């Protein structure tokens, strides 16, 4: 009996150490699994967010293209209207100023066949940002010289 009492503290210590190692191993395993699951959830969330941003960007590009198309169509409609008035010879700087104000157009210029300005809708500049540019802007669309040519300039 004395031998059993002699080995009991060692056995209990070894059993406690083995139980502690098992608990520690289980905790490390659970922590690792939780970490893997958290990274998986973060990856899914980031992919979803990236997909949303990609779709939003595509929608913005399409909306911008449509807006630019509508603006260019509106400006071309205004140009056609002014060209018809010019061909009927009922246009004056005051009339151009009225048309520009009504259509929210900064300035309307009418040129002759040689490129000389015949008349325009004068504007007063309220700030330097509205001052005329020294370079010519790119055309809204590629067009021929016959698009807005009046009868007197026909080649």
Instruction: Give mean pLDDT, residues 33-50.
Output: 96
Helices and strands counted in the chain (H then E)? 2, 2
Per-domain residue ranges of the chain: 12-70
Q: How far is CA 115 from CA 12, 90, 112, 118, in A?
A: 107, 20, 5, 9
pLDDT tens digit sequence for 9-20: 888 889 999 999
Q: What's this model's pTM, rounded to 2 decimal places? A: 0.50
For the cut 70, the answer to whether the pLDDT of residue 146 exceeds it is no
Mean pLDDT of the chain: 80
pLDDT tens digit sequence for 113-132: 787 877 777 765 444 444 45
């Amino acid at each position: 009996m004395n031998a059993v009492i002699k080995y009991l503290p060692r056995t209990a210590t070894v059993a406690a150490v083995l139980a502690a190692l098992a608990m520690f191993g289980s905790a490390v395993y659970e922590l690792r699994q939780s970490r893997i699951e958290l990274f998986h959830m973060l990856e899914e969330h980031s992919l979803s967010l990236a997909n949303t941003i990609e779709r939003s960007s595509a929608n913005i590009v399409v909306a911008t293209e449509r807006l630019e198309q509508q603006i260019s169509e509106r400006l071309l409609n205004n140009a056609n209207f002014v060209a018809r008035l010019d061909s009927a010879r009922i246009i004056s700087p005051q009339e151009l100023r009225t048309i520009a104000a009504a259509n929210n157009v900064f300035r309307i210029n009418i040129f002759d066949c040689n490129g000389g300005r015949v008349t325009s809708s004068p504007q007063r500049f309220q700030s330097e940002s509205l001052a005329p540019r020294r370079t010519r802007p790119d055309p809204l669309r590629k067009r021929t010289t016959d698009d807005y040519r009046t009868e007197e300039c026909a080649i």
